[in-house]
Amino acid sequence: MGKLHPNFIVGIGGSAGALNAYKALLDHLPSNTGMAFVIVSHIIPTANSQLAQILSRHTKMSVVVASMSMAILANHVYVIPPNADLLVKNYTFSVVSPRTKRNQQIDLFLKSLANAFGRHAIGIILSGYNGDGAEGCKYIKAKGGITFAQDISAEVPDMPLHAAAGGNVDFVLSLDKISDELQRLASTSMEGN
């Protein structure tokens, strides 16, 4: 039986213009990294999120909407539910609905991820307006985790630029290069086991 617990939990934050970024990132990722991927997207609260269905066409990994007490498994992709804050604890999700504040779900999730998983936390900030995610990257770095921001390929560069400007981003890369680096991290962690 394969390892159920992921070697890393990857929080992926995005907003405007991020749908294409999520698709491209998943297109480039193999389905056996041993990581779990959590997509925290700014979704209009009333929207019936089709995100999981759309993204499932871009990966062999199982893509599901996260729910309360759901286990976080390796080689799975999870999507934040609409109108909710998503937190993690002991390899399970905690969902707070309705969301506490508008456009702060990425920071909330990344802070929770940093506190729960320390150096096994990875944060990726993709296309979007405003600065959600920058504070979360700071927490991940403080706990020894790794952070990424999308480069100038971002359709809306505000969020990745804001994260990088804070000095808490390890890599500013295109989506295919982010995927390459994640695969390198996965293989390095597997050698260490």
Q: What CATH number should be reported for the domain holding residue 31?
A: 3.40.50.180
pLDDT of residue 42: 87
Answer whether residue 126 is part of any domain. yes
Q: Is pLDDT above 60 for 192?
A: no
pLDDT of residue 47: 66
Of all residues in the chain, the percent with pLDDT exceeding 70 is 94
Reply yes or no on whether 31 is catalytic. no
Q: Angle between the 18-28 and 175-192 helix axes, to the nearest 10 degrees? A: 40
Q: Is pLDDT above 50 for 52?
A: yes
Answer whether residue 192 is part of any domain. no
pLDDT of residue 40: 96
Answer whether residue 1 is part of any domain. no
Q: Is pLDDT above 80 for 118?
A: yes
**Average pLDDT of the residues in 120-128:** 97
Domain count, the chain: 1
- Per-residue pLDDT band for 189 (boundaries 50, 70, 90) equals confident
Answer whether residue 23 is part of any domain. yes
Q: Is pLDDT above 60 for 2?
A: no
Q: How many CB atoms lie within 10 A of CB 103?
A: 15
> Which residue range(s) make up the domain with 15?
9-37+49-186
- Per-residue pLDDT band for 12 (boundaries 50, 70, 90) equals very high
- Rounded (to 5) percent helix, strand, coil in the chain: 35, 25, 40
**Helix count (H) and strand count (E) of the chain?**
6, 9
Answer whether residue 167 is part of any domain. yes
Task: Answer whether 77's CB lies under 8 Å from 66's CB.
Answer: no
Residue of 28, 132, 162, 179 marked catalytic: 132
Reply yes or no on whether 42 is catalytic. yes
Reply yes or no on whether 158 is catalytic. no
Q: How many CB atoms lie within 10 A of CB 193?
A: 7
